[in-house]
Structure 1
């Protein structure tokens, strides 16, 4: 069980490193993690990588994502330098973009659930 989980994690880290390598080699103006995620997405869509091959490790990471992100975010807001940079226009942009991201996620999910319930009847 643990060996399988580590192999799945190895696949995910492999795509991350592949993304960083491509950014360095081709001078792509994107973060390596984003390029690696795009490569993983394309590999999943084309069937090169099966979802079962990375399911457990990716589910574990998604489950604990907030735990990994909360301490750095809190330490940023505690830092006095960040409070100097975050003035009203920046705070308004952060709040509006957060709300629009929530709505852009919630509305399609709600639409999909209604469609799924309608088709189940």
Structure 2
């Protein structure tokens, strides 16, 4: 019964996301609205992680299975896909490199900013040599 209730909660939030997609005139998929709703409910404490944990883990575990129909559809339309294969591969490689580089630079900037904050706090005597508060 617990799994049915958890699945119903996830399904309900997804349904609310689809309703928002219908009501709000932005080109954002309903699933993204659903993810944002789920995130906000979890962050605000309105929904506890225990309310969806087991079913969420199950859905993540079976996610690769969900790609089989898409792969079968690609195989069925190979003639049309074949003409776009090289441009799609080039775009995929370039966009992957750009995303990786951007994520790396942002991470480096965040780490640098955090280290500067710790150094500044050490100079002010707020934290000890381990980055922990003295109080």
Give the TM-score normalised by the residue count of structure 2: 0.65
The alignment partner of 1:10 has SS state of helix
How far has the Cα of 1:27 moved from its partner?
A: 1.8
Structure 2 counterpart of 1:81: 80
How far has the Cα of 1:100 moved from its partner?
A: 6.4
How far has the Cα of 1:71 moved from its partner?
A: 3.3
The alignment partner of 2:67 has SS state of helix
Map 1:1-121 → 2, pairs under 5 A:
3-79=1-77, 80-84=79-83, 86-98=84-96
| Greater mean deviation of Cα atoms: 66-75 or 24-33 | 66-75
Give the TM-score normalised by the residue count of structure 1: 0.72
Hey, which bits of structure 1, 4+ residues long, moved more than 4 A? 98-104
- The Cα RMSD (Å) is 2.4
Report Cα offsets for 1:12-71 as digits up to 9, x if no partner.
111111011011112232000111111101111111110000001110000000011133
User: When the two structures are aligned, how many residues end up with a matched partner?
Assistant: 103
Partners of 2:22 and 2:51 lie apart in 1 by: 27
Partners of 2:60 and 2:68 lie apart in 1 by: 14
**Structure 1: where are the runs of 5+ without partners?**
109-121
